[in-house]
């Protein structure tokens, strides 16, 4: 990302040469200020009327030189900020996000239309822009659906999206696939775009789509009890919800999104993740320090975003939440974006 520096905001330090009275002034490393990992630059300025050529020449044209030099620096820093390491994350609503790397675009849970009295849902305008493939939702490579619940998924909107964006692929649990098959009039036209691996609880499957590698992990949906060792026939209907967590490998960034899985109830599934994660999430289903520690210690998560806030987000005011608030990243508004370097 371009970094703009104002000359008057740069503090110069005096650097004294061993040979008096020669000294010069140096800025801090502009590359540090701009968080550039690939280029090291700083500004040097000499006292006017003191030095011979080439400094003298530079001094005579100082104004022109400074202007030119700053323009060059800005351009150079822009050019050397490695876009391959960046990931732009745009918040839609609830658990919906758009990820943009230099090579690919991925959407997750963008079509929530139910339970709007409890949770924040994307606006109709945003969902229409997604379906139409309007910028920034153009050229989406992959649509990920975590589970069938109406605040994460809508079959008709998903059908329209796949019909309009024929290059986009989609990954979803079997329950979502079945609902699409049963309710979409044009299912035959879009079924080749849909991938729906059959996974047992805590099982992981790696899927490669173009430049994106995704590890799909079947995780238990948030519940009051662990389903480890519980017979499927004893599950409640709610507990039968098939929830996928996704470990998304972008060029240089790894994102882990668990949908509505509760981290504390998915110890076995999380053990399958054997690489440090750059961006992870805490959600409505577990937002205490224990769950945060699972992300920070077990997954080595660098950034933890809070998602799936309730309306009107009273949990944010609880003492328990305030304890972990400084360690979390928040998106407050629909279409708010953050770039992670």
Nearer to Zn ion, 212 or 217 (CB): 217
Q: In angstroms, what is the minimal distance from the CB of 221 to Zn ion?
A: 6
Structure token digits, residue 227 = 């389903």
With respect to Zn ion, which residue has the nearer C-beta, 34 or 245?
Answer: 245
Dist CA 224 CA 234 (whole Å): 14
Position 149 contacts Zn ion (CB under 5 A): yes
DSSP for 218-271, written as a single string? EEEBS-SS--TT--GGG--TGGG-EEEEEEEE-SS-EEEE-TTB-GGG-HHHHH
Where does the chain have alpha helices with state H? 30-33, 55-60, 62-80, 124-132, 155-164, 174-183, 187-190, 267-271, 289-293, 319-324
From 63-71, 98-106, 120-128, 254-262, give the range in contact with Zn ion by CB under 5 A. Answer: 254-262
Binding mask 292-331 for Zn ion (x = CB under 5 A): ----------------------------------------
Task: Name the minimum Å distance from CB 131 to Zn ion.
Answer: 22
CB atoms within 10 A of CB 35: 11
Q: Is the peptide bond before 105 cis (omega within 30 degrees of 0)?
A: no
Nearer to Zn ion, 27 or 146 (CB): 146
Please identify, using beta-carbon distances, which residue of 87 and 95 lies nearer to Zn ion. Answer: 95
How many residues bind Zn ion, per CB under 5 A? 2
Read off φ and ψ for residue 193, nearest 5 degrees.
Answer: -85, -15
Shortest spacing between CB 146 and Zn ion, in angstroms: 8
Please report how close the Cβ of residue 310 comes to Zn ion at its closest, in angstroms: 13
CB of 153 to Zn ion, least distance (A): 9
Instruction: Determine contact, residues 258/221, Cβ cutoff 8 Å.
Output: no
Of 2-10, 13-21, 25-33, 146-154, which segment contacts Zn ion by CB under 5 A? 146-154
Beta carbon nearer to Zn ion, 95 or 212: 95
Q: Which of 112, 114, 139, 140 is nearest to 126 (CA)?
A: 112
Among 38-46, 141-149, 231-239, 279-287, which window interacts with Zn ion (CB under 5 A)? 141-149
Stretch that binds Zn ion, among 63-71, 174-182, 253-261, 320-328 (CB under 5 A): 253-261
DSSP label at residue 329: B
Compute the distance between CA of residue 143 and CA of residue 106 in angstroms, rounded to an integer: 6
**What's the CA gap between 17 and 151, in Å, rounded?**
66
Interaction residues for Zn ion, span 37-66 (CB under 5 A): none
The residue from 260, 277, 309, 324 that contacts Zn ion (CB under 5 A) is 260
**Site residues for Zn ion, window 171-200 (CB under 5 A)?**
none
- Contact residues for Zn ion (CB under 5 A)? 149, 260
């Amino acid at each position: 990302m371009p970094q703009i520096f104002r000359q008057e905001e740069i503090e110069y330090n005096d650097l004294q040469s061993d040979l008096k009275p020669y000294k010069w002034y140096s800025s801090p490393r502009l590359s540090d200020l701009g968080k550039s990992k690939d280029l090291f630059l700083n500004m040097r300025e000499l006292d006017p009327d003191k030095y011979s050529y080439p400094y003298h020449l530079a001094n005579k044209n100082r104004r022109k030189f400074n202007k030119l030099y700053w323009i060059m620096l800005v351009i150079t820093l822009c050019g050397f900020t490695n876009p391959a390491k960046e990931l732009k994350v745009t918040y839609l609503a609830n658990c919906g996000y758009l990820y943009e790397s230099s090579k690919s675009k991925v959407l997750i849970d963008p079509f929530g239309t139910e339970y709007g009295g409890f949770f924040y849902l994307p606006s109709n305008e945003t969902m229409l822009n997604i379906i139409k493939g309007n910028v920034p939702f153009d050229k989406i490579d992959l649509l990920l659906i975590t589970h069938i619940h109406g605040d994460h998924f809508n079959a008709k909107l998903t059908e329209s999206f796949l019909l309009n964006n024929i290059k986009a692929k989609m990954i979803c649990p079997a329950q979502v696939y079945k609902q699409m098959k049963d309710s979409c009039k044009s299912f035959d036209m879009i079924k080749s775009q849909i991938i729906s691996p059959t996974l047992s609880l805590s099982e992981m499957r790696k899927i490669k789509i173009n430049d994106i590698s995704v590890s799909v992990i079947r995780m238990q949906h948030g519940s009051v009890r662990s389903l480890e060792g519980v017979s499927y026939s004893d599950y409640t209907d709610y507990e039968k919800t098939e929830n996928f967590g996704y470990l998304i490998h972008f060029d240089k960034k790894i994102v882990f999104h668990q949908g509505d899985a509760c981290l504390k109830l998915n110890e076995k599934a999380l053990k399958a993740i054997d690489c440090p994660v750059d961006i992870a999430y805490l959600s409505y289903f577990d937002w205490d320090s224990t769950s945060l520690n699972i992300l920070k210690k077990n997954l080595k998560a660098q950034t933890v975003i809070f998602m799936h806030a309730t309306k009107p987000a009273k949990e944010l005011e609880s003492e328990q939440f305030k304890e972990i608030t400084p360690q979390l990243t928040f998106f407050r508004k629909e279409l708010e974006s953050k770039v992670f370097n």
